[in-house]
A = this chain, B = another copy of it.
C-alpha cells in the first residue's frame, strides 16, 4: 500500500476512487457486514495527502442476494432474465433490490462519511445499462402513460393506432415492448426508462446526503451511451457533473481519422468532443472525468496503448474544455475478471513503466501550471444542438441504413445514425478551427453564441422551434441540418412542408428525400460530398450556396442560406462528408486566430483570474512550428514565446500577454 500511494503521490495524484462494486466484500452474507478493511486504505491515502471518493457498491449485486431473490434480475425481454455473472444484471427499481441496497449504502457511508480523506461519494456506477422489462416496470409504464395522456383514446390518436388495429380500449390491452413496432410507443418507453434511472440515482444521492457533510459532493459517474440514461436529466439530481469518457488513441487520434463516434471515438476532435459532451450535462459548470484511458480500453482483444505524448494531449484538451479533475481507470491492470485486459497505469507486473512516466509528466505539468488552469471557461463560437429524444427515435427508426448492408437492398437500420451525424458535424467544425459548445435542445434559450448548428434535430417541440426562430431573428446564424424539425416531440412527422415551421425563415422547403447508394459530389461555393441521404431542397427565397452534381438530384439545393430578421438561417439538405463539413465550418464564420489546420489545433479559454489561455496541439508525428497570432507566454515556463515548437503528439499551453 505504501508503494502504491508513494507512486501515486510522486506522479502528482491528488484524488482516488474506492469501494465501488465490492458489495460481497462489504456484506459477505445477508446482513453480516465487514466494514473495516477499507480503513487502512483511507488512512494511507490521507497520510499521502490524497483525497478519496467513496463509491457505493450497488453496481454489482452479491451472489447470495441473487440466489435469495432471483426476481430482482432485470428482464432484457419480458420473462427473460439477464443471467447472473457480470454486473448490472439488476432491475434497480425493484423494491427488494432497493431494500438491500439501502441497507448496505447506509452501513458503508455511515462508517466512512466522517473520514478526513473522504471528499465525496460516487453512487452506483454508469447506471442505466439495461432496459428492464420486468412486470412491475411494465405496470409502471402503463401508469406513467396515463399521467401523460388523459386516457387510452388520447393514446390511440397521438400514436395513430388505427393502423394495424392497434387501438386500445383499456390500458391493460397495451402490448409489451418486446414486439412493439410503433415508434411513438418506443420513444415513450425510452423516456420512461430514463426517468427510472434518474429516479434511482436521485434516491441514492439523497440517501448518501443524509450522511455527507456539505462539502462532500455526491454524484455518479455517467456513461452517456447507456441505453437507459438521459444524462442531462440525471445531471440534475447529483451535486456535480462527472462522466466516464474514453477516446481512441495512436493514429486514430489524428486529424484524418475517420473511425467515427463508436467506442472509442476517433479523430483529433475526440477528446474535445467527449469533454464538451460532458460539459453539456450542466451548461456553464466544470466537470470531473471519472474515467478515461490509462493503457488500453475495451475488451481483451482491443489494446491500443497511446503514443508518447497522447496522455498529455488528451488531459490538456479536457482541461481546456472545463474538466476540473481527471481520473484514470484504473491504477493497475487486474489479474482476473472480465476486465483483465482493461489496462491500468501499472501493468500486470505492477512495475511503473512508460504509461506511469507519461502520466507522471502530466502530473508535474499540472502542478506547475497551478492556478493558471483553474476556473477555466472554454471559448465557444458555435453551439451544436444535441437531442436525446432524437437519438432514441433514430435508434428505433433511423433515416440511414446499416453501413455494412448492401445499400441497394432494404437491409437493416443504422441504429447509430444520430451520433454518426452529430459527430460528423462536430468533426468538420472542429477541423475548421471552431470551438464548440454542445447544448441539449432543452437548454436552448438566451446566451447563445453567434452560430447555432442543429445537425439533425428531428424531434423538436414547438417551443424549441420558436426559440430557434427568435435566435435567428435576433441576429444569430441558425444552421439546420438534414431531418431537423421533421417531427413533433412525440415523434410524429409534422404536417407542414419541411423544415416544419421554419421553411419560411429558411426560404427553402422539401417534401421528399432519398437515401444514396454512394456519395454524390457537392459543388458550388462549398465542395465535398453528400452522404447518406439528400433532401429535395427547393430554394424559395434563399440563396443556393451549393448543389449536387447529378442528373436527378442536381435540381435541388444542397445548402441554402437566407437573411432572416437581424440574423440568418442556413439549411443543409444532406449529411456532409468530413470535407464538406469542414468547408461548411470555414464558411460559417472565421473560427480561430491561430494558424490551425491539419494536425494543429488551438483552443482558447479564460481562466478563473480572467486571463486568456490557449491550448495548442499537434496531433501527429511530424513536428510543427506555430507562430502565435498575439503576444503569449508559456504557462509552464512563464517565458514569452513567438513561435511554438510542437514535437510529435505535443501540446503547449500559453497565456495571452500584453505586448
Contacts and interface: CB of A to CB of B under 8 A. Distances in A.
7 contacts: A29-B169, A59-B164, A160-B334, A160-B335, A161-B336, A299-B410, A341-B397
A511 B424 CA distance: 36
Contacts of A89: 179
Interface in A552-594: 552
Number of copies of chain A assembled together: 3
Given A264-B410, A340-B397, A410-B263, A250 B300 contact: no
Given A173-B63, A176-B84, A408-B248, A338 B164 contact: yes
A82 interface: yes
Given A336-B492, A337-B163, A621 B184 contact: no
Interface in A295-316: 295-296, 298-305, 307-308
Given A340-B183, A410-B298, A494-B348, A354 B512 contact: yes
A645 interface: no
A21 B160 contact: no
Nearest to A307: B552
Contacts of A50: none
Interface string A638-655: 000000000010000000
A417 B301 CA distance: 10
A103 interface: no
Contact of A169 (B28, B409, B412): B28
B163 A495 contact: no
A335 B264 contact: no
Interface stretch (A229-237, A398-406, A434-442): A398-406
A182 interface: yes
Interface string A325-353: 00000000111111111010001111101
A623 to B, nearest CB: 12
A64 interface: yes
Given A24-B165, A173-B63, A353-B511, A336 B410 contact: no
A363 to B, nearest CB: 20
Interface in A407-421: 408-414, 417
A474 to B, nearest CB: 28
A174 interface: yes
A112 interface: no
Interface string A485-516: 00000001111111000000000000111110
Interface string A134-177: 00000000000000000000000001111111111110111111
Chain B CB count within 10 A is highest, among A159, A184, A264, A410, for A410
Contacts of A223: none
A599 interface: no
B648 A303 contact: no
A61 interface: yes
A172 B337 contact: no
A168 B164 CA distance: 43
Nearest to A73: B179
A336 B305 contact: no
Contacts of A64: 169-170, 173
Interface string A510-527: 011111010000000000
Nearest to A347: B511
Given A28-B167, A62-B167, A63-B167, 10 more contacts: A25-B165, A29-B169, A63-B165, A64-B169, A86-B179, A248-B408, A266-B408, A301-B398, A348-B511, A349-B497
A447 interface: no
Contacts of A183: 336-338, 340
6 pairs of A and B residues whose beta carbons are closest in the complex: A83-B179, A160-B336, A85-B179, A63-B173, A60-B165, A24-B167
A66 interface: yes
B22 A85 contact: no
A304 B412 CA distance: 15
B303 A514 contact: yes
Interface in A593-652: 621, 648
A239 interface: no
B184 A515 contact: no
A645 to B, nearest CB: 18
Contact of A514 (B250, B264, B399, B551): B250
Interface in A342-400: 343, 347-351, 353-355, 397-400
A339 B25 CA distance: 52
A225 to B, nearest CB: 12
Contacts of A162: 22, 24-25
A497 B512 CA distance: 57
A411 B414 CA distance: 16
Contacts of A259: 406, 408-409
Interface in A36-74: 57, 59-64, 66-67
A339 B183 CA distance: 10
Residue of A169, A172, A339 ringed by the most chain B CB atoms within 10 A? A169
Q: Which of A161, A170, A174, A175 has the most CB of B within 10 A?
A: A175
A597 B400 CA distance: 35
A348 B28 contact: no
Nearest to A343: B512
A52 to B, nearest CB: 18
Nearest to A503: B349
Contacts of A338: 164, 181-183
